[in-house]
Chains A and B, each alone.
Chain A
Amino acid sequence: MTDHTGDTARDNVAAHGGQGPRRGNLFARFIGATELDTRLLGMVGALALIWVGFHVYGELANGFGAFLTPRNLWNLTVQTSSIGIMACGMVLVIITRNIDLSVGSILGFCAIVMGVVQVNILPQYLGLGHPLIWIVAIICGLLVGTAIGAFHGALIAYGGIPAFIVTLGGLLVWRGAAFLVARGETISPVDPTFSLLGGGPYGSIGAAGSWIVGILGCLAVLALIAFGRRQRVRFHFPLRPVWAEAVLAALGCALVIGAVLLVNAYHWPRGIVNRYAEAEGITIPEGGLEISHGFAIPVLILLAVAIVMSVVMRMTRFGRYVYAIGGNPEAAELAGIDSRMMTVKIFAIMGFLAGLSAVVASARLNSATNALGELDELFVIAAAVIGGTSLAGGVGTIYGAILGALVMQSLQTGMVLVGFDAAMQRVVVGGVLVLAVWLDILYRRRSK
């Protein structure tokens, strides 16, 4: 604690503002002025490497690079949603030095509950296709997920049972329960409105809707930067140079607009266009009818979850206490924080998000099976950890976890596209997880 020797060196680093290794004058100045997280840049770099790598490999090995196409990238965003939604909750769990191995099974159980409610129970009373069916089913699923999570949290906090054991038990119990509820049957098809939440041509918001989302996104980026600057002026804190603010604003808006252009560049398959045109009584013009997908609904759900959870983590007392408990449980307790109740709430949020993930996953499959979400817990934990959440507690971000989920899914998708078989995929994913954590440990050691 009293390491006086290191102080001057650290003070010098601090005087230049920000952390992280500094190499090359221009790059260092750019990072210093924009206050960008070097770790974040590293992850974006890794992601770019994976994407370009698979694309080039596809070109060389198969004569066709399938990765960097609107179709694949659009699919990638949809496939990332389910894991990404749960990773947002896993960040909180891991920050507070716990683990949740049961999320995949909770997902499966919630999906079966929602399936039974919307296919076997509600149509008897409301009639098939009643507009309330999908809403009631979702509420049931989310309530069940939240209740299971809170129950796990209570066993951990008040029963004193380690989270590893409680959720390992939960992994088996809820998977088994999912089988028992539906006697092992697959429940399908789900309610048509419900199935839109899984994406697909009809479950996307189209070109115009995507532009509206994009414009709102750009406005949000600008508002955030302006608000941050105003706060700093108000309290006389050091300001970023104006050019750095401009670069950040331009980068943020470019990213948003790029995403809109990408999802709008992926058009509906011809068969679906023909069926749609027939149903709506539209005559297809000479050159063919091009209908853009736009953002898929599950992606927007993930986006909403990410925004809400980021606000919770950065701007509420609850989020502050999550970090405090992770950093020093004893200090949090002495500061009057009820860490047991916090644990219950955190696991309840995790359960809720597993329920929401179940909505997306079963809607996408248009059915609920008791095997849904198997091994998801490992992908979710891997996403959070690759995204920089420290298993030692106290460190982690929502955006990191989502980037982590994107990395995991990119690897998975990329390997499928270049034709790796399932066994090889597991070998690579497992190896990458260990490698990513090792790189993270090296990074943290150096920046200390």
Chain B
Amino acid sequence: MTRTQSQTSRQAGGTPLVELRDISIAFGGVQAVDRVSLDLYPGEVVGLLGHNGAGKSTLIKILSGAYRKDSGEILINGERAEIDSPADARRYNIETIYQTLALADNLDAASNLFLGRELTTPLGFVDDARMEAETRKILARLNPNFRKFSEPVSALSGGQRQSVAIARAVYFNAKILIMDEPTAALGVHETKMVADLIQELKAQGLGIFLISHDTREMMELCDRVSVMKNGQMIGTERVEDVTEDDILSMIIMGRNPKREAVPA
């Protein structure tokens, strides 16, 4: 149902939530991302696929403010957005769950969840009690088994750490969510939990960029998939229009069989 919603919003020519236009970035002599364009609509999940070093994570880090693009433009809700730092991205309600989770291992769950955006008392001191209470609330929803609120996150399991990273993105009312390999380190049960959460967030109208190596998982979770190779965009297809084999050949061969099969 959500899938059809996002499709109609897209087909009706609505404004995309995010539009990346001709984004390029080079590191030294390497063109890591080469004139890539991509868009994302409300309530839509767009998957990014490709080999390691294809440029997926780099592209996504430009949107999340971790890297600065060399050229191209970013539009949020149809308006030009200047994203030069992670703080800028947060102002546009862009939240990112990094593959490394980006947690400070020595701090507890609440400190990590609110890192950079601490709740403070009227005197300007950090309000640890209120932050822990908020953390307990949101984690009760995301991961009811979570108990270790007063221990550093280094004492948590992979799934629990993931819960903290996800809670951080969800708590601050993200409109645009970027998830870099969110299930790579998780067990079966926890992977299912993330999949359910993605459906829930989608239904709330968030736009989600998902990066993964697992083609089958992407076919299940995404509305559209984009494949990158050597910094270039090979193609973006709706999942119901392609087979897993089509996607694999795009990843491996860097060609879009779907487009080539249809004579121009």
**Does A332 reach chain B (CB closer than 8 Å)?**
yes
Interface residues of A in 258-284 (CB under 8 A from B): none
Task: State which of A115-123, A130-138, A314-322 sits at the interface with chain B.
Answer: A314-322
For the complex formed, measure the closest distance between the CB of A262 and the CB atoms of chain B, giving whole angstroms: 33
| A317 & B126 in contact (Cβ 8 Å cutoff) | yes
Task: State which of B116-124, B209-217, B239-247 sits at the interface with chain A.
Answer: B116-124
**Does A395 reach chain B (CB closer than 8 Å)?**
yes
Contacts A4-B187, A327-B107, A331-B104; A234 near B115 (Cβ below 8 A): no
| A14 & B157 in contact (Cβ 8 Å cutoff) | no
Question: Who on chain A is nearest to B116 by CB?
Answer: A335
Interface size class of A (residues with CB under 8 A): 35 or more
Question: Who on chain B is nearest to A317 by CB?
Answer: B118
| B147 & A14 in contact (Cβ 8 Å cutoff) | yes
Question: Who on chain A is nearest to B105 by CB?
Answer: A327
Task: State which of B48-56, B83-91, B249-257 sits at the interface with chain A.
Answer: B83-91
**Does A83 reach chain B (CB closer than 8 Å)?**
no
Give complex CA distance A332, B102 in Å: 8
- Which residues from B are CB-within-8-Å of A316? 124-126
| B106 & A395 in contact (Cβ 8 Å cutoff) | yes
Chain A, residues 329-342, CB within 8 Å of chain B (1/0): the string is 01111111100000
Partner of B133, one of A235, A334, A335: A235
| A394 & B86 in contact (Cβ 8 Å cutoff) | no
Give complex CA distance A331, B152 in Å: 15
Contacts A234-B129, A316-B126, A320-B115; A1 near B104 (Cβ below 8 A): no
Give complex CA distance A153, B87 in Å: 23
- Which residues from A are CB-within-8-Å of B104? 323-324, 327-328, 331-332, 394
Partner of B85, one of A4, A232, A336: A336
**Does B26 reach chain A (CB closer than 8 Å)?**
no
| A14 & B126 in contact (Cβ 8 Å cutoff) | no
Chain B, residues 155-184, CB within 8 Å of chain A (1/0): the string is 101100100000000000000000000000
| B115 & A331 in contact (Cβ 8 Å cutoff) | yes
**Does B60 reach chain A (CB closer than 8 Å)?**
no
- Which residues from B are CB-within-8-Å of A236? 133
| B125 & A315 in contact (Cβ 8 Å cutoff) | yes
Chain B CB within 10 A, most for which of A235, A330, A332: A235
Question: Who on chain B is nearest to A19 by CB?
Answer: B151
Chain B, residues 94-113, CB within 8 Å of chain A (1/0): the string is 00101011111111000110
Chain B, residues 70-97, CB within 8 Å of chain A (1/0): the string is 0000000000000001110010000010
- Which residues from B are CB-within-8-Å of A234? 129
Give complex CA distance A364, B106 in Å: 39
| B129 & A333 in contact (Cβ 8 Å cutoff) | no
Give complex CA distance A315, B131 in Å: 13
For the complex formed, measure the closest distance between the CB of B111 and the CB atoms of chain A, giving whole angstroms: 6
Partner of A327, one of B106, B124, B129: B106
Give complex CA distance A336, B3 in Å: 34
For the complex formed, measure the closest distance between the CB of A305 and the CB atoms of chain B, giving whole angstroms: 19
| B148 & A330 in contact (Cβ 8 Å cutoff) | no
Question: Who on chain B is nearest to A390 by CB?
Answer: B106
Contacts A14-B155, A234-B129, A237-B129; A324 near B107 (Cβ below 8 A): yes
| A326 & B115 in contact (Cβ 8 Å cutoff) | no
6 closest Cβ pairs, A-B complex: A327-B104, A335-B116, A327-B106, A336-B87, A394-B106, A2-B158
Given contacts A317-B120, A323-B107, 13 further A-B contacts (CB under 8 A): A2-B158, A4-B158, A4-B187, A14-B151, A232-B129, A316-B126, A320-B118, A323-B111, A324-B104, A327-B107, A331-B103, A334-B66, A336-B86
